[in-house]
Amino acid sequence: MISLPEDSENLFTIAKSGIVAGLTFLFVSTFVVNPLVTNAMIESQILSNGRYAIVYDAHETIGEFGDFKATAIGSSIIRDAVDGLCISQNMDSKTGAGIFNLGISGGNPYTEMIQTQAVINSKADLVLLELGPNNLWQFYDSQSLDDYIEFRFSINSITMDHDDVGSWTELIRERDMPYVALTDIQKMRMNKIYSIESVESTFEEISSGLPEIDFTRSGVPGIGDDDWLEYLMTPTYKPPNFELKSSHEVRTYFEENMPKLANGSIYNPKSEGTLNHNSYEYILRELTKNGIEVLLIGIPHHPLVYQYLSENQLDEYNLTFAKYLEYDGVYGMNMFWEEWPEWMFRDRNHLGLHGREYACERIAEAIDSINYNQSEAFFVQPTVELFLEQKSQCDGSGLTWNVISENTIIPAKEYSFCSMAKDQRLPHKWEKGVTDAGIRLSPDIGLSPRNVVDGPMVGYNVTIEKPGWYFFWFETRGESDSDDTFAVTFERPNLPETSFSIISSFPQGDGEWIWTNESSMAPLKMWVQDSWDITIKIWMQEDGVELRRILISNEPSFIPTEEVVG
Amino acid sequence: MSLVFFWLASGWHVLLLLLSTTIDWRSGNSIHASSDKRVRKRWLMISLITNLSLLSIFKYLDFLIRSFNLAALKISNSPGLDELGLALPVGISFYTFQTMSYTIDIYRRKTVPYQSFVDFGCYASFFPQLVAGPIVRADDFKTQLDRPMSYNSANIKIGLTLIVYGLFKKIVFADNLALHANQIFTEGEHLGNIGLIWWASLCFGIQIYCDFSAYTNIALGSARLLGISLPENFKTPYAATSPQDFWRRWHISLSTWLRDYLYIPLGGSRHGQRVMLFALMTTMILGGLWHGASWNFVIWGLVHGLLLVGHRFLSKLNLVEKLFINFKTGSTIISWIITQYLVFLTWLIFRIEDVGVLFESMKTFVGIGGYFDFSEFMLFLPEIKLLTFALAVIFIIGHGFSGRFGGFVYQLSKQRSIAWGLTVGLMISVMYFLQPAESVDFIYFRF
């Protein structure tokens, strides 16, 4: 039985001990657990994506950014549409501008509203605020929606500072209040939800001996790391999706999903009175009141979406957009009604690489015009037709090449005919004159059509007069490390197409031209019975490859070199 | 106050407590007042029958019906009896044993009755230990009640320390390790993986100790705040170097109760080996059954009885005696390893109710047909692994050391206010932030 001298303690010492215990608890909670939880959220796999936890640290970084700064806020639609580094480089009005992308998966005006005060504190010059029909739905009873709101509010509550709390608290629904931490005690409660996983993740980090943050674990670099600022401007985008599907697959997707989606809340927006509208109005009011200009951005959806929407279905979206433009300091760039080509999208409503590149130019122009105080009308002019027009053009020389000598050389750029990619979503094509006297598959972004026959093609009509063996050589070079290949087919009138021969043996990146006839089907050769008209077709397999000349020889031992051919 | 507490926890079952208290009060007084042996015996029997009947009806009747039905089904395929489905009154195993000891002690003239019914009622239903012990002897309690209550600050500090320490063990250790034990035993998969079975057994061993001793700490602490000192129930049981040593350290209030009121009356060790064997095995089987109306508790008691018997015989062998004399340290370490190996083996019996899972687990635990697959081990455990491993290691180290320095509670209690406050604040922080989302009831609440 434990005993202590009765006079060893008195009520004063007990009270003192209690106070020390309380202070210790507060200290541990504030200075140990909170940073531990926040770091673990960003750096480990506690959250499906560490991006959810960086909002307030991002605003803090933005606040420290010296030059012109704009912050994009919204859902994954704006996240996938904004390439901050690209926009910054394309802007004329400000050099060294910081265009920060804080778009986040599932974000809606109600959930994003709570960062308004943090935006004000960061002294951003401009906010790029997503405003699409998908942001204007009436709140409904849904477990998954409630879960998402709980999740976002909890995470944001843990990571926000006291001075990030603004009058947005008045708009929070009663049912969501338990997930918003306004006091230290409430914050402690939020930390508790993730504390065990955070400790576990810290143990994991220690045990794996990671000296630095493993970027791939959460998809987010550590705060203040070398990649941090760049990530805030240009986040890690999702890999291609529709870009890798055939046209048929994409259409099937829309046929299966769009009828239901078109009747859903995201394509049936309201014009006022929803929680989302209230949140928008709060954001616009607060930002403009604090001298921050706002550019409302409507990002287009995949062109096939529009076929499923009835006339006037999105009128209330238009009304809302127009209404919000009436705020002083609010500009609009509604690209939603522009029909961007299919190949710009990675899925139904997210831009892919090409879409992002185009959006970059457009947004840069828009920011410039705000900075130059140009007319607001500028922002609604679509210029996208250029892409469609450009894509449909492909003309060949119409020439037919006669093989009469031992070695016949055909300049690659003099192709007889050509075709664009059969899949109109792909912008790739053989470009003339890009390199010295050759043609090049462009653009080189590492993407390839899944099927060779979907890719762009150049064809050469050749007449071979004398019977015998003929050997085909291609003078080529590649740029990237491993993804430059093309395919060759030979055709004769009334005969089926021969098998594809894939050529992929190029010097890697040193710019040297080489002659090759090695393919996946062994050296390229053909037995000609008598006078034959044949067609050589060259298909893009992977882009970036360049082709300068084609040589047809009837000498089995002949190997073309720079010295011999010239 | 105790009755209100009990009523809130157990509803109308408070009447059973009142019945038991009233009859034992009356029996105690009558036994004490009478010099007629038959009268004294009759009152003792009334007390014992009342308490054992309550226990039998509410705790064991359905178990007996179930067992009968099973046997009847095997023998004659006849329809069984309906179970009563009575809810187990909270703490019935504890308060019936406690009040029985009161009447038995008066009968044995080891103590005298309480002078007031209120005092006795307070003893019988003292809320801090009513639900899960420790089982307090009437005399110990009475002595303290008879003294003027001393609400001194030292008691408050010790009481608070005990409560915080108890909560710490329960929340941080027991509840976190329970998740691992539960996952392995409940899923019943990969039972051939020796790593998983050993780990599950270790987790459950730590869980049950931290769970039960935590409750005891909280009970002791709460009582201390009221100026009452209750007896210790545990003395680092996993430091035991023999089965006998284990029972001197584990649930001490029950093991001494069983010794004083069952083992010795049945003959004890002073009437030859046969009587000793009978007394020991009966005590341990009934002790096992006390824990719950289930065959696995009976087997658990039986196996512990066999271990005690085995230990008695082994320790008397010349070779063993010589080993302990000549190689004391080495022999002690080996006997500690063997003892703990067997104790943790018996935890499987205690924990696993499904016979198939139990059989497979025990086979694997002793290495029959088992294998070790680390990937499977890591894959099958719950998400929080490293923290749980760390907790197990901390427990083992802490358990090993705590006995050497008079125990953690003593060491902490004697600290000055700032050091005490810092440590307690830290413990509260760890408790708060490492509390698993799923809370686990105190295991011994079921008994």
Segment A235-251, tens digit of pLDDT: 988 888 887 777 888 89
Q: How far apart are CA B214 and CA B216, in angstroms?
A: 5
A414 touches chain B (CB under 8 A): no
- Separation in Å, CA A146 to CA A61, A141, A198, B1: 30, 8, 24, 43
Beta carbons of A440 and A546 less than 8 angstroms apart: yes
Say if residue A456's pLDDT is above 70: yes
**Which of the four pLDDT bands, split at 50, 70 and 90, describes residue A276?**
very high
Per-residue pLDDT reduced to its tens digit, B24-41: 888 888 888 888 888 888
A35 touches chain B (CB under 8 A): no
Of B386, B421, B428, the CB nearest to A204: B386
Q: What is the pLDDT of residue A512?
A: 74
Same domain, B53 and B120: yes
Per-residue pLDDT reduced to its tens digit, A525-552: 888 877 788 888 888 777 667 888 889 9
Per-residue pLDDT reduced to its tens digit, A1-11: 666 666 666 77
Q: How far apart are CA B384 and CA A177, in angstroms?
A: 29
Q: Does domain A393-565 have CATH number 3.90.1150.10?
A: no
Neighbours of A302 (CB within 10 A): 25
Say if residue B10's pLDDT is above 80: no
Q: How many contacts does A have with B, using Cβ atoms within 8 A?
A: 118
Q: What is the pLDDT of residue A378?
A: 46
Beta carbons of A2 and B158 less than 8 angstroms apart: yes
Q: How many CA atoms lie within 13 A of B318 on its CB side?
A: 0
B439 touches chain A (CB under 8 A): no
A14 touches chain B (CB under 8 A): yes
Domain end, chosen from B118, B146, B174, is at B146
The candidate with the shortest Cα–Cα distance to A191, out of A295, A36, A346, A306, is A36
Whether residues B153 and A20 touch (CB distance < 8 A) is answered with no
Tell me the average pLDDT across A358-374: 85
Q: What is the pLDDT of residue A386?
A: 36
A1 touches chain B (CB under 8 A): yes
B421 touches chain A (CB under 8 A): yes
Q: What is the pLDDT of residue A3?
A: 67
Two structure tokens written together for B28: 């105690």
Per-residue pLDDT reduced to its tens digit, B363-377: 888 888 888 888 888
Say if residue B380's pLDDT is above 60: yes
Two structure tokens written together for B320: 């063993």
Q: What is the pLDDT of residue B441?
A: 72
Same domain, B141 and B161: no
Q: How far apart are CA A62 and CA A72, in angstroms?
A: 12
Same domain, B140 and B157: no
Is cis: bond before B134, omega within 30 of 0? yes
C-beta pairs of B34-41 under 8 Å, 24+ apart in sequence: B40/B107, B41/B107
Beta carbons of B261 and B101 less than 8 angstroms apart: yes
Same domain, B23 and B101: yes
- Specify the DSSP class assigned to residue A414: G
More confident of the two residues A422 and A386: A422
Per-residue pLDDT reduced to its tens digit, B112-131: 888 888 888 888 888 787 77
Average pLDDT of every residue of chain A? 81
Q: How far apart are CA A219 and CA B291, in angstroms?
A: 52
Which residues on adjacent β-strands are paired with residue A470? A526
Of A16, A22, A192, the CB nearest to B433: A192
Say if residue B215's pLDDT is above 70: yes
Number of compact structural domains in chain B = 2
**Which of the four pLDDT bands, split at 50, 70 and 90, describes residue B165?**
very high
Say if residue A127's pLDDT is above 80: yes
Say if residue B245's pLDDT is above 70: yes
B433: nearest CA in chain A? A192
Name the fold adopted by A67-181+228-386: Rossmann fold (3.40.50)
Q: ipTM of this model?
A: 0.74
Say if residue A398's pLDDT is above 80: yes
Active site residue B271: no
Beta carbons of A148 and A139 less than 8 angstroms apart: no
Q: Which of B291, B304, B311, B399 is catalytic?
A: B291
B432 touches chain A (CB under 8 A): yes
Q: What is the pLDDT of residue A12?
A: 81
Per-residue pLDDT reduced to its tens digit, A72-95: 999 999 999 999 999 999 888 878
Of A20-24, A205-209, B247-251, B380-384, the range with the lowest mean pLDDT is: A205-209
Same domain, B114 and B191: no
Residues present in chain B in total:
447
Of A268-272, A451-455, B379-383, the range with the lowest mean pLDDT is: A451-455
Q: How far apart are CA B176 and CA B173, in angstroms?
A: 6
Best B136, B149, B153, B173 residue to mutate vs chain A (most A CBs within 10 Å): B153
Phi, psi of B329 (to 5 degrees): -65, -50
Which of chain A's residues have a Cβ under 8 Å away from the Cβ of B153?
Answer: 6, 8-11, 13-14
Which of chain A's residues have a Cβ under 8 Å away from the Cβ of B414?
Answer: 4, 8
Domain end, chosen from B100, B115, B146, is at B146
B275 touches chain A (CB under 8 A): no
Strands A330-334, A293-298: parallel, antiparallel or unpaired by DSSP?
parallel
Best B417, B418, B420 residue to mutate vs chain A (most A CBs within 10 Å): B417
Which of chain A's residues have a Cβ under 8 Å away from the Cβ of B393?
Answer: none
Say if residue A116's pLDDT is above 90: yes
A20 touches chain B (CB under 8 A): yes
Strands A98-101, A69-73: parallel, antiparallel or unpaired by DSSP?
parallel
Boundaries of domain holding B265:
153-446
Of A95-109, A497-511, B280-294, the range with the lowest mean pLDDT is: A497-511
Domain end, chosen from B96, B112, B146, is at B146
Q: Which residue has the tokens 């960061």?
A: A122
Q: How far apart are the first and last CA of chain A?
A: 103
Same domain, B205 and B124: no
Q: Which of residues 153-172 of B touch A (CB under 8 A)?
A: 153-154, 156-158, 160
| Three-class DSSP category at A382 | coil
- Specify the DSSP class assigned to residue A171: G
Q: Which regions of chain A carry the CATH code 2.60.120.260?
A: 393-565
Beta carbons of A81 and A355 less than 8 angstroms apart: yes
The candidate with the shortest Cα–Cα distance to A136, out of A380, A319, A289, A391, is A319
Q: What is the pLDDT of residue A437?
A: 62
CA angle A231, A481, A356 (to 5 degrees): 35
Nearby residues of A237 by Cβ (< 8 Å), 6 or more positions away: A79, A80, A353, A356
Q: What is the pLDDT of residue B344?
A: 93
Same domain, B142 and B162: no
- Separation in Å, CA B34 to CA A553, B23, B48, B117: 131, 16, 18, 19
Same domain, B35 and B98: yes
Cα dihedral sign for A253, A255, A256, A259?
Answer: positive
CA angle B319, B325, B328 (to 5 degrees): 110
Q: How far apart are CA B80 and CA B65, in angstroms?
A: 8
**Which of the four pLDDT bands, split at 50, 70 and 90, describes residue A435?**
low
Beta carbons of A21 and B421 less than 8 angstroms apart: yes
Same domain, B220 and B318: yes
Is cis: bond before A443, omega within 30 of 0? yes
Which of chain A's residues have a Cβ under 8 Å away from the Cβ of B383?
Answer: 197, 200
Whether residues B428 and A25 touch (CB distance < 8 A) is answered with yes
Tell me the average pLDDT across A14-24: 88
Same domain, B123 and B158: no
Of A21, A191, A207, the CB nearest to B424: A21
Q: Which regions of chain A carry the CATH code 3.40.50.1110?
A: 67-181+228-386
Q: How far apart are CA A73 and CA A294, in angstroms?
A: 10
Tell me the average pLDDT across A435-460: 66
Same domain, B77 and B177: no
The candidate with the shortest Cα–Cα distance to A552, out of A408, A399, A401, is A408
Q: How far apart are CA A384 and CA B32, in angstroms?
A: 105
Strands A69-73, A126-130: parallel, antiparallel or unpaired by DSSP?
parallel
Rounded to a whole number of angstroms, the distance from the CA of B439 to the nearest CA of chain A is 14
Whether residues A1 and B422 touch (CB distance < 8 A) is answered with no
Say if residue A380's pLDDT is above 50: no
- Separation in Å, CA A169 to CA A117, A145, A181, A279, A325: 11, 19, 10, 11, 25
Strands (E), B142-258: none
Tell me the average pLDDT across B283-312: 88
Same domain, B183 and B142: no
Which of chain A's residues have a Cβ under 8 Å away from the Cβ of B156?
Answer: 9, 14
Distance of CA B195 to the CA centre of its chain: 27
Q: What is the pLDDT of residue A87?
A: 92
Q: What is the pLDDT of residue A78?
A: 95
Of B387, B414, B429, the CB nearest to A196: B387
Dihedral angle computed from the Cα positions of residues B223, B227, B229 and B230, in that order, rounded to the nearest 10 degrees: -30
Which of chain A's residues have a Cβ under 8 Å away from the Cβ of B175?
Answer: none
**Which of the four pLDDT bands, split at 50, 70 and 90, describes residue A505?**
low
Helical ranges in A113-219 per DSSP H: 116-121, 143-159, 184-208, 215-218
The candidate with the shortest Cα–Cα distance to B248, out of B265, B235, B238, B231, is B235
Q: What is the pLDDT of residue A382?
A: 39
Q: What is the pLDDT of residue B29?
A: 86
B407 touches chain A (CB under 8 A): yes
C-beta pairs of B375-382 under 8 Å, 24+ apart in sequence: B376/B190, B376/B193, B376/B196, B377/B193, B377/B195, B377/B196, B377/B199, B380/B183, B380/B184, B380/B187, B380/B189, B380/B190, B380/B193, B380/B196, B381/B180, B381/B183, B381/B184, B381/B196, B381/B199, B382/B179, B382/B180, B382/B183
